[in-house]
Structure formats: C-alpha cells, structure tokens
Amino acid sequence: MSIKKGDNVYVRSGDDKGKTGRVLWVNTKKKTILVEGVNMQKKHQKPSQKSPKGGILSVEAPVHLSNVALFVQTDAGPTPTRVRTRTIDEGGKKVKARIASRTGEEI
C-alpha cells in the first residue's frame, strides 16, 4: 500500500474534502484507512462500568484509500501528491522505496 500509519494525508473527495490528518491505522484487506479528525460519526454509548454516564460520542470512521492523497512538504508549502514505488539497491539488497511524484524525493 502506498499510505502507511503515521503519514499525513489530504482528503480529496467526500463530505470532508479538503481536510488533512494523520493516519491512525490501515486495513489492507478492505483498502480503508482511519484518519484523525476526518469522517466523524456519532456513536450512542450505553452506560457501563467503564463509562457510567454513557451518551453520544464522536468517533472517526474509515475512509477508502482512493479518497485520500499523501501530503508532502514542498517549497510552496504542504501539497498533496501521488505515491510511486521504486526499487533501490542498498548494499546488495533490493529494497522498495516510496517516492513522492510531485517532488521526486523518497518518503
């Protein structure tokens, strides 16, 4: 996958278009990611020992991978970019590296 946990991403489409956030987790089978502060949903919580009051909570819901772009730092400031992979020879080993399309730098 081109986006990993801890990356900063830009939401390209949907209700939260234009928002940015940090990736909290990635589901490779469903190709979804959880972005901090994006796609907030209301969850009704019953009172329990853990939360005696209960109530209505706001939690993040997963976003499909195709709806986000990686955010990289450029001279003009942070901009969204596509991610490409390139194999690099490091000490006799071939290693896959993520490359930002806009800047050409390794991520």
| Domain range annotation of the chain | 8-80
Q: Cβ distance 37 to 94 under 8 Å?
A: no
Identify the CA nearest to 1 among candidates 83, 60, 59, 75. 83
Residue 51 pLDDT > 90: no
Quick: pLDDT tens for 7-41: 999 999 999 999 999 999 999 999 999 999 999 99
Mean predicted lDDT score pLDDT of the chain: 92
The rounded distance, in Å, linking the Cα atoms of 53 and 96 is 49
What pTM was computed for the model?
Answer: 0.82
Nearest to 60 by CA among 3, 2, 9, 1: 9
CATH of domain 8-80: 2.30.30.30
